[in-house]
Amino acid sequence: MKIISYNVNGIRAALKKDFIGWLKSANPDVICLQEIKANKEQLDLSIFEDAGYKYNYWYSAQKKGYSGVAILSKIEPKHVEFGTGIESMDFEGRNIRADFDDVSVMSLYLPSGTNAARLDHKLEYMDLFQDYVNTLKKDIPNLVILGDYNICHEAIDIHNPKMKGVSGFLPVEREWIGNFIESGFIDSFRYLNQETQQFSWWSYRANSRANNKGWRLDYAMVSQPLQEKIKRAVILSDAVHSDHCPILVEIE
């Protein structure tokens, strides 16, 4: 199963940049989207179906034009879970999960901590999410959680490791994602690319992408029972529909 995750920073904007043409070329079995910034009623779903993604599921934020996640699949899932059932997490539409026969795939969009209030929300969200996943794994051990975690884990994951006072690279955030991995997950890209410095997000300011001054914020976290089935994990930095680029993991 080839799975892609992509924070599209607005699916309608991405569609105007030939997102569908790119999707057909990339040809994943499943694609997880974050920051869709749309309700499905605002989209012509036939264009995704015509591209081969008959099964598409959208979970939007209550606030229009904000946040939201989706899963598009060529394979019909056995079950789709919209949200987590935790109100403080779900009102911004940040989690959707599709359960297949041998693996469950979640699209995740962790909050950013752009100011003190949002950082508090992010830290609370991270704690709630860890507890949620700890329980979920008891019933669904074969779990792949892809998405924009809004955290750089190690110094290699950020162009300037001195930025320790900026949300996304705060010690408390880095400690959390380290603990999340220790709780039973594999950072699939780092597992197969131990020394590679490659990024998945660049600020729109100061020509950051052209200068490759980026952050690796997007992860495909694979639960440990699937470790031997991780065949490939890459960052698709040539895709330019967003300030993020897609990431890919292939599970046997």
Give, for all 252 residues of the chain, the pLDDT tens digit: 999 999 999 999 999 999 999 999 999 999 999 999 999 999 999 999 999 999 999 999 999 889 999 999 999 999 999 999 999 899 999 999 999 999 999 999 999 998 999 999 999 999 999 999 999 999 999 999 999 999 999 999 999 999 889 999 999 999 999 999 999 999 999 999 999 999 999 999 999 999 999 999 999 999 999 999 999 999 999 999 999 999 999 999
Number of domains in the chain: 1
Angle at CA of residue 220, ends 4 and 10, nearest 5°: 50
Q: What is the pLDDT of residues 132-168, one digit of tens each?
A: 999 999 999 999 999 999 999 999 999 999 988 999 9
Kindly state the tokens that stand for 207.
Answer: 């020509």
Tell me the residue range of the domain where 125 lies: 2-251
E strand or H helix at 132, and its extent?
A: helix 116-139
Instruction: For residue 81, give the CATH number of its domain.
Output: 3.60.10.10
Mean pLDDT score across all residues of the chain: 97
Q: Is the pTM of this model over 0.85?
A: yes
CA atoms within 13 A on the CB side of 173: 25
Residues known to be catalytic: 148
Smallest Cα–Cα separation from 58: which of 85, 94, 23, 99?
A: 94
